[in-house]
Amino acid sequence: MAFQTKSNKPIAEPLHFHTVHGDQIRLSDNNSRATRDRLNNTLLFTNRPILANEIVELYIEELSTEFYGLIRIGLTTIDPGSFTQQTLPKTMPASDNRDWFVPSPRSPPNIMKNKTIYLKYTTEGDILIDYDGTGFIKYLTVPPITKDIWCALDLNGVVAQIRLTQSEVNVLANSVDRARARYLQYTNNRKKENASIYYSGELAPGFVTMSDCDENSEISENIAVKKKSTAAIVINEMLKRSMCIVLQIIDMDHTLSTYLTIRCLTEGRTSNEHTKLIDNTFDYVTLGDEIGLRVLPDGCITFSCDNRHVKPLFNIDLTVNDNPAVQQTSYNLEFIMNGRVTGLRLVGIYRPTEAEARTLPPAIGGGCQATVIHRICPYGLSGLLLPCKHLCVCYECGKALIDRHSCPNIKCRKPVKGCIKVYKD
């Protein structure tokens, strides 16, 4: 049965205070309430990165009659889990830097008991706060945020006890429920999506193979939700030139550092050469982003997130399938949810036309395409390929193959890393 939700609120996992905090802070059993014992060393963080436009609600439960000063609220791109008691700052920075964004009120806000302070940020870099329930005010604008970002607050002032609440989001603790709810939200405007060249509709059985995914994920909804760290989906359609596969991230575990692993299976076999771990050094991805995998004419498979930062993953040798007389080699993409990505939706596949699939890369060298198709260079054999040491091309073709193609020998197909010119007596 499909998960039903009528709420248009953002869907999020439970939000509470991080277990890393200043030593003058006491947390309740469920980490939703923070109480300050004394001043100084009173930093607090959310347990996970907050989402763009997600509203953080801080309900003031107790005020101190002995101390004065405002509660300081801001954002940080530093994972609180990376701090130790020795490295944890005793207070928030006095000014903004590349890791901390700390808005300063234009005038002292009216801080009262049993009132709620609201904070949110936008992808454009606006940080907005509502101190007294009269509405959000933009207190700071920073460059567009393309990193994970945690809410941070310093309980070093008049506020002595505060509680994190979530009334402006649809809180779902179960990853399958979150994935299905987001699926319904993201596909609410199906008319536009149905018109996309990538949309494939409901998938036929056998089109996708899921392993170690939650049994409640339904293939009719094109959803896969992680059950184990080895959870994976395989697209059972052979890769062709100009093909494009689009997936959407519908759930994440923010406690992990990497995102997922993408690899290409050759005749069902894996290799390090065709495996790429996606982490934040490669690209930044977040909930709702669409991942696009495109096969270029030369066999290079590229990765992009929401059509930005197109980057190469690895190369496959599609030339082996250019000769119809030769048995076709199957290449299939596998997505392993061994990191932060715990839920994926297959949006669809662009299937190239026959002409697009047969569009060969530009000819390189003197007779590259003839070499590929006939496995012998029409310009003679003068290039010894390295490291395989096969002599099947001319020297000019051999140089053009370096770091771009595999050995034309059908029994070899090793990547070409060098070429030595040989002479015949």
- pLDDT per residue of the chain (425 residues) written in tens, 0 to 9: 233 444 567 788 889 999 999 999 999 999 999 999 888 889 999 999 998 888 999 999 999 888 777 888 999 999 998 998 889 998 888 777 888 998 887 777 788 899 999 999 987 889 999 988 889 999 998 887 778 899 999 988 889 999 998 877 788 888 888 888 887 777 665 555 555 545 555 556 678 888 898 876 655 567 889 988 899 999 988 998 888 888 889 899 888 889 999 999 999 999 999 999 998 888 888 888 888 899 988 889 999 887 667 889 999 988 777 766 667 889 999 999 999 999 998 888 888 888 777 776 544 443 444 444 444 565 678 889 999 998 878 887 788 778 777 777 767 778 888 999 988 75
Does 197 map to a domain? no
pLDDT of res. 188: 66
Does 361 map to a domain? no
Task: Report the CATH number at residue 253.
Answer: 2.60.120.920
> Are the C-beta atoms of 32 and 44 separated by less than 8 Å?
no
* Residue indicated by tokens 């936008």: 122
DSSP code, position 329? P
Same domain, 71 and 219: no
pLDDT of res. 25: 93
Same domain, 136 and 208: no
Same domain, 376 and 319: no
Pairing of strands 383-386, 391-393: antiparallel
Same domain, 350 and 261: yes
Q: Is the pTM of this model over 0.95?
A: no
pLDDT of res. 172: 83
Does 92 map to a domain? yes
Pairing of strands 308-315, 331-336: unpaired
User: φ, ψ for residue 253 (rounded to 5)?
Assistant: -110, 105
Does 349 map to a domain? yes
The span from the CA of 240 to the CA of 253, in Å, is 33
The span from the CA of 366 to the CA of 61, in Å, is 78
DSSP code, position 99? S
> Are the C-beta atoms of 242 and 262 separated by less than 8 Å?
no
Helix, coil or strand: residue 118: strand
Burial class (CB in 10 A: 0-12, 13-18, 19+), 419: buried
Range of the domain at 310: 177-188+204-354
* Residue indicated by tokens 């979530």: 166
pLDDT of res. 326: 67
Same domain, 299 and 375: no
DSSP code, position 136? -
Does 17 map to a domain? no
> Are the C-beta atoms of 373 and 340 separated by less than 8 Å?
no
Same domain, 212 and 349: yes
pLDDT of res. 333: 96
Same domain, 143 and 47: yes
Pairing of strands 11-12, 170-171: parallel
The span from the CA of 272 to the CA of 255, in Å, is 26
> Are the C-beta atoms of 391 and 384 separated by less than 8 Å?
yes
Does 229 map to a domain? yes
Nearest to 147 by CA among 261, 254, 4, 293: 254
Number of domains in the chain: 3
Task: Report the CATH number at residue 376.
Answer: 3.30.40
The span from the CA of 92 to the CA of 42, in Å, is 9
The β-bridge partners of 3 are none
Q: What's the one-letter identity of residue 104?
A: S
pLDDT of res. 366: 39
